[in-house]
Structure 1
């Protein structure tokens, strides 16, 4: 069977794919409040679209398997608004480690995490590092906005607000492109109280304040400039970037394996 979806295979088929050196991808998302206008499934909608499309395209070039999407993440900073399902950071770390351990037990030696929710990111990176320390495996981890920064800049994504922000113009555009009917168009604010410190640091840095990690009223910027057409361009830019990343890390891991064998 040639499917790139992990869950469509039997145990015997997956064992053969693990032995053949397939890259297995775990996509991480969330179910959490996204202001008064977007569904709580926003991160999962975007991440699933990106992961499925990228895995399908990458699988034409390299052996890739995509695990079922993890639709609940580490979202404790959203709980006070309601409409949120969350694991604590400690629980989420254990859960991701257990998934990684399961894949190692299944025989996989190339494991990648692709993330679509900010609260998951540091825990994801820690998990990838821990697995590579403990087991003779290759791991990789990245959030889609990090992979696609340059492509989104080419698309002028900041024209609608923060990228990716939270429930602002960027994510609203993406949801309009993916499931337009889930956007409450009557609640798209044209103005929003700004938090100058949000995204004020360099990429990879963190700054936060109690009670305001999500911006004012649970979203970071006004979504009124969002459009379906813009969202289609943004999602496609992310998919292109994620596809290239999956191919690149597989080829890098394979090259590393060959170099290690040559040193023996």
Structure 2
């Protein structure tokens, strides 16, 4: 079951009352985090809600780490992402770019009526990158009184991933060593054993090679051209211990950003 906002957490907006949300929002330096994910195929071994689950987990852990220092809440995830490149494999829900952009504007606009000083879209799906950038621009223009920020959480791992990874470049792609390790840490009961390794075969030198090795060239390619299963990466190297290490380091990075936003 998809947790709509880590209801057992003190930073969960979904578990808060309206007066509690208004009180946090009205506090000087308040920060609201909106996780943005997807429901899309992640191979034969990971659930389709992986991006939404992980974005919410990282956002919540980062906020919990600094909740005694700053006024912060984490909203329920926006669980539908821009995923047309996954449709042919099945198990995918996508929206059009314009529909999803309007949705992010509406969600942000509604939440900003609570007077938050900063809103952070914390993205968990690579296909949402341009969408998040567009929403930051338009929501920021509509709310000049606030700081509107956007970030894809796994890009934070570039600072430390070489301490953790065992796979070659390409092994931490879609549903690979990185995401599978995090899911084994958070939701081991949702991870299946069918985990073949498939490395990225992107023909353009300037294209993406990995979740953490982004190239400067944007390429549209349906996922069945990369992988029969829909996953890309060395899933056999994933482990719950590795996921715990990644999660702790990612949470630290998010916590640091939230403190910066508060100040």
Q: TM-score range by the shorter chain?
A: 0.7 to 0.9
Match of 1:12 in 2: 19
Counterpart check, 1:210 vs 2:210: no
**Distance change >3 Å, CA 129–CA 158, structure 1 → 2:** farther
**Distance change >3 Å, CA 190–CA 95, structure 1 → 2:** closer
Tell me which moved more, 51-60 or 191-200.
Answer: 191-200
Pairwise CA distance, 1:204: 7.0
Q: Quick one: distance in 1 between partners of 2:25 and 2:62?
A: 20
Q: Quick one: distance in 1 between partners of 2:167 and 2:101?
A: 35
Match of 2:38 in 1: 30
Helix, strand or coil: the match of 1:24?
strand
Pairwise CA distance, 1:162: 3.6
Pairwise CA distance, 1:214: 7.6
Pairwise CA distance, 1:161: 5.2
Match of 1:188 in 2: 195
Match of 1:156 in 2: 164
**Distance change >3 Å, CA 190–CA 18, structure 1 → 2:** closer
Tell me which moved more, 201-210 or 162-171.
Answer: 201-210
- Of 101, 111, 117, the residue aligned with 2:125 is 117
Match of 1:222 in 2: 234
Match of 2:260 in 1: 248
**Distance change >3 Å, CA 114–CA 163, structure 1 → 2:** farther
Pairwise CA distance, 1:37: 1.6
- Of 92, 95, 118, the residue aligned with 1:87 is 95
Richer in helix (by share) = 1
**Structure of greater Rg:** 1
Counterpart check, 1:144 vs 2:153: yes
Pairwise CA distance, 1:96: 0.2
Q: Indicate the RMSD between aligned Cα atoms, in angstroms.
A: 2.4
Q: Quick one: distance in 2 between partners of 1:189 and 1:222?
A: 7
TM-score, length of structure 1 as denominator length: 0.84
TM-score, length of structure 2 as denominator length: 0.84
Counterpart check, 1:58 vs 2:73: no
